[in-house]
């Protein structure tokens, strides 16, 4: 058994040891600062008047601003060939990296690595570590989205002692692994002894001296040898770790900030691949790759090289990690179409896994769409966030509406024992790796698990610490095996292991998240714009395809349709369309939907005109198209023209329908009835002048009546009666009312924009203060009564 205060002793040694990882350092001074624009991707040529001196710790910029910082440093001759890093601290200790200050470090004019509160050191490639070589440092820094001034407090050139670094991470992980065991476990006793012996080997008489570092190297080798003597169990579970950085396309930041987050996160991953040959990184969203291709072509070239080498995994399938509740089935298909097509064209890659770690629930239609899009597997963690019930499975076959099945696996990592839910922003510490196995529910079926590690949401990604932890795990045979790999390979291995196992459960239904119910309604204008855009582009595709097939010389407008769809698909990201982003995101979204409307309307009009040009249509006649898959009788809206005043439409069987002038969203429209338009077909209508026909509707501010219904409004604007004249029945129960407007207090326990909690109905207010009622329209086809209520100050 370990001695008294053993745990306290080891914790203290671990707390003080990180300062010994750097065995030498040199301050970097002489900094200058200049204003920057967010879309400057290369270092600008600046005049001396544009540069100002900067002292570390000075305040700089305001919220949502950019600056350039410049300095020079020289590699000491005795450091040549050593492990050397530039250490720059942007942000403030303890601040969240996603919204704190962030930066991109350039060395000798080239982007090297991202910097944030989780990534302060950038290890220099060997080509820069030449004795006496001067390096030009430039940093493009962003103050952050936390409404504070920028922070830049530390700058130094550091020399890393490899043995000290490796010893620290091995000691730390052996200790954390031991604490997961019972203190009476023989393995715990052994590991505690090995840790004690390693610490006894370290000579603390002159910390930082040559003798000290020599003793650290000895302690490292002894600890490796001792830990390796513990044999691995044949039943040892395997956790496959994949490097990852979840980048929200927009959330607490706009798309323009995301473009820059990509440059920082991706360059950091590329540098880590140079230092750790075993490191594999996944990035799932085609839109992010397109951003980096447009903005930083050299970083994009390096990514393509690593994809070809098998180090950078392109997988996931979709254009963005899209919402799967509000988004239509047609759009989900296009998420896959645009995503997989981009990946195949740009990287020669065929995805096999739908990667949606953070989406707020998953439609029952998805298994069929996944399979028909050429993918076989699905991964998430989000269902573990459910408010009341734990989902019963972590590995299962998900059966869709049509019976299609997709092998599904939930990552089960928890970074802290008390965490309620699994995480896609995992760590690689020994106890965290073990948590994936401890939390896993299908132990009787499978012992192969997946874990995604790296800082995320606002990017950042994997750190050197995480990869050093992963290396330390090689010596901890009493823990689950931690193997770095790819998502695609993991699922293929998992599939082979469980394919024929009758114990593998099947889930038949949607994957419903018992949380974030408010995302079905938040930012209703965005949801409306999405649906209108989906309808518009589906129609534009349909009629452009028909025109291309039937009209000689008509060229299908790939460019405009693809541009419009990409805008729609991007806005279906799981923090945009659900309504959970900051206000400026929706200002951007509104502009993008306006562009979609302009592009889609132009394409649709050109296609329709091309088709009409091939029809036997006389001047002044109207052509009504039906894009639906069934015959349709309905009201038609078309732009108003003065010659339609007092006119009727006449169909080919002689039926006559009055034309009424109306307004829709401030635009004058003509509305009329048309019957029996064929599925995916059209009808040609003549326009004729006609004597005025009176309305069959009787409308006042307190009642509305046509051939089918009689409606009565009470003094509060509520429906007190709905009488069905055709079936001769009262629709409302005695004493009941319709059209009752009720406001509820919207104060959920967490996440205002996301949640409507179960107790919301406890505090209702019915809105009864009717201030105005007037008849707005009373025509042959349409009647409108406008009602206006007062509620508090609204």
Closest to 464 (Cα-Cα) out of 436, 428, 414, 434: 428
Condensed to tens digits (0 to 9), the pLDDT of residues 350-405 reads 999 999 999 999 999 999 999 999 999 999 999 999 999 999 999 999 999 999 99
- For residue 300, give the 3-state DSSP assignment: helix
Please indicate, yes or no, whether residues 201 and 249 belong to a single structural domain of this protein: no
Copy the structure tokens of residue 1: 């058994």
pLDDT value at residue 693: 64
Residues 176 and 322 in one domain: no
Same structural domain for residues 468 and 324? yes
Containing domain of residue 740, as a range?
698-789
| Per-residue tokens: 556 | 């299908």
CATH number where 82 lies: 2.60.120.260
602 and 737 share a domain? no
Are both 356 and 434 inside the same structural domain? yes
Give the pLDDT of residue 184. 95
Give the end-to-end CA distance of the chain in Å, rounded to a whole number.
71
Task: Sort 577 into a burial class: Cβ within 10 Å, 0-12 / 13-18 / 19+.
Answer: buried
Same domain, 461 and 314: yes
pLDDT confidence of residue 620: 84
pLDDT value at position 3? Answer: 80
State whether 679 and 714 are in the same domain.
no
| Cα angle: 557, vertex 561, 564; to 5 degrees | 150
Edge-to-edge strand list for the sheet holding 22-27: 22-27, 152-160, 83-90, 121-123
Say what the pLDDT of residue 148 is.
Answer: 85
Cα–Cα separations (whole angstroms), residue 319 to 291, 335, 337, 487, 778: 12, 5, 8, 18, 47
**Is 220 in a helix, a strand, or coil?**
helix
Residues 469 and 328 in one domain: yes
Pairing outcome for strands 238-244 and 729-730: unpaired
pLDDT for the residue 13: 97
Domain check: are 91 and 135 in the same one?
yes
Report the candidate in 137, 117, 10 with the shortest Cα–Cα distance to residue 71.
137
Question: What is the pLDDT at residue 694?
Answer: 64
Backbone phi and psi for residue 766, each to the nearest 5 degrees, phi listed first: -80, 135
Contact 142, 166 (CB under 8 A): no
Between CA 779 and CA 764 the distance in angstroms is 37
Which pLDDT belongs to residue 751?
93
> How far is residue 167's CA from residue 373's CA, in Å, rounded to a whole number?
47
Tell me if 530 is assigned to some domain: yes
**Whole-number pLDDT of residue 692:** 62
CATH code, domain carrying 351: 3.20.110.10
Which residue ranges in the chain fall short of pLDDT 50? none
CB 410 within 8 Å of CB 384: yes
- Residues 574, 318, 462, CA angle at the centre, nearest 5°? 75
- Res 180: pLDDT: 97
Do 73 and 196 lie in one domain? The reply is no
């Amino acid at each position: 058994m370990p001695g008294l205060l053993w745990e306290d002793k080891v914790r203290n040694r671990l707390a003080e040891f990180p300062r010994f990882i750097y065995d030498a350092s040199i301050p970097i001074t002489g900094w200058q600062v200049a204003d920057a624009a967010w879309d400057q991707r290369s270092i600008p040529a600046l005049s001396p008047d544009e540069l100002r001196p900067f002292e570390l710790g000075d305040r700089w910029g305001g919220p949502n601003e950019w600056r350039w910082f410049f300095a020079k440093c020289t590699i000491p001759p005795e450091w040549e060939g050593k492990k050397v890093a530039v250490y720059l601290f942007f942000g403030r200790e303890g601040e969240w990296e996603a919204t704190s200050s962030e930066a991109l470090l350039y060395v000798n004019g080239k982007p090297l690595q991202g910097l944030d509160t989780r990534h302060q050191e950038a290890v220099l490639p060997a080509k820069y570590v030449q004795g006496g070589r001067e390096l030009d440092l430039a940093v493009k820094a962003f103050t952050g989205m936390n409404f504070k001034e920028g922070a830049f407090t530390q700058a130094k050139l550091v020399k890393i002692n490899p043995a000290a670094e490796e010893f620290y991470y091995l000691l730390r992980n052996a200790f954390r692994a031991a604490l997961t065991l019972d203190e009476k476990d023989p393995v715990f006793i052994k590991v505690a002894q090995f840790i004690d012996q390693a610490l006894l080997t370290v000579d603390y008489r002159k910390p930082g001296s040559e003798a000290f570092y020599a003793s650290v190297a000895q302690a490292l080798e002894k600890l490796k040898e001792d830990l390796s003597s513990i044999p691995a169990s044949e039943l040892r579970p395997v956790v496959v770790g994949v490097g990852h950085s979840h980048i929200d396309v927009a959330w607490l930041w706009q798309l323009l900030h995301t473009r820059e987050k990509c440059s920082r996160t991706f360059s950091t991953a590329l540098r880590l691949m140079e230092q750790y040959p075993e490191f594999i990184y996944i990035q799932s969203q085609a839109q992010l790759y397109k951003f980096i291709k447009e903005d930083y072509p050299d970083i994009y070239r390096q990514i393509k090289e690593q994809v070809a080498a098998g180090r950078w995994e392109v997988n996931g399938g979709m254009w963005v990690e899209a919402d799967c509740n509000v988004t239509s089935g047609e759009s989900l298909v296009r998420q896959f179409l645009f995503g997989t097509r981009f990946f195949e064209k740009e990287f020669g890659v065929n995805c096999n896994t739908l990667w949606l770690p953070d989406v707020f629930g998953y439609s029952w239609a998805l298994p069929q769409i996944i399979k028909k899009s050429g993918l076989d597997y699905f991964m998430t963690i989000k269902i573990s966030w459910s408010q009341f019930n734990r989902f019963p499975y972590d590995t299962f076959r998900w059966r869709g509406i049509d019976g299609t099945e997709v092998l599904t696996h939930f990552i089960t990592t928890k970074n802290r024992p008390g965490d309620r839910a699994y995480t896609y922003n995992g760590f690689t510490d020994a106890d965290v790796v073990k948590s994936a196995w401890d939390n896993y529910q299908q132990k009787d079926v499978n012992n192969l698990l997946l874990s995604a590690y790296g800082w995320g949401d606002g990017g950042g990604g994997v750190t050197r610490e995480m990869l050093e932890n992963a290396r330390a795990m090689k010596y901890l045979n009493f823990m689950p095996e931690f193997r770095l790999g790819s998502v695609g390979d993991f699922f293929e291995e998992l599939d082979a292991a469980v394919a024929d196992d009758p114990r593998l459960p099947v889930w038949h239904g949607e994957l419903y998240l018992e949380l974030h119910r408010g995302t079905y309604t938040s930012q209703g204008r965005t949801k409306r714009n999405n649906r209108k855009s989906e309808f518009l582009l589906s129609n534009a595709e349909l009629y452009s395809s028909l025109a291309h097939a039937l009209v000689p010389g008509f060229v299908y407008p790939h460019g405009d349709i693809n541009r419009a769809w990409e805008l729609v698909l991007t806005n279906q990201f799981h923090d945009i369309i659900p309504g959970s982003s900051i206000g400026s995101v929706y200002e951007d979204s509104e502009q993008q939907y306006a562009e979609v409307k302009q592009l889609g309307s132009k394409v649709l009009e050109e296609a329709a005109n091309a088709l009409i040009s091939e029809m036997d249509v006389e001047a002044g006649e109207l052509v009504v198209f039906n894009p639906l898959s069934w015959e349709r009788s309905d009201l038609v809206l078309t732009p108003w023209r003065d010659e339609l005043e007092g006119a009727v439409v006449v169909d080919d069987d002689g039926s006559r329908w009055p034309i009424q002038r109306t307004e829709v969203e401030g635009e004058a429209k003509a509305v009329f009835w048309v019957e029996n338009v064929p599925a995916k077909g059209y009808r040609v209508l003549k326009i004729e002048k006609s004597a005025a026909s009176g309305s069959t509707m009787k409308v006042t501010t307190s009642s509305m009546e046509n051939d089918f219904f009689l409606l009565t409004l009470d003094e509060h604007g509520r429906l007190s009666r709905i009488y069905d004249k055709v079936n001769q029945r009262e629709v409302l129960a005695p004493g009941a009312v319709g059209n009752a407007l009720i406001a509820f207090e919207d104060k959920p326990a967490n996440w205002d924009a996301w949640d409507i909690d179960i107790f919301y109905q406890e505090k209702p207010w019915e809105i009864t203060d009717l201030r105005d009622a007037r008849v707005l329209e009373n025509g042959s086809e349409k009647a409108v009564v406008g009602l206006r209520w007062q509620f508090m100050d609204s």
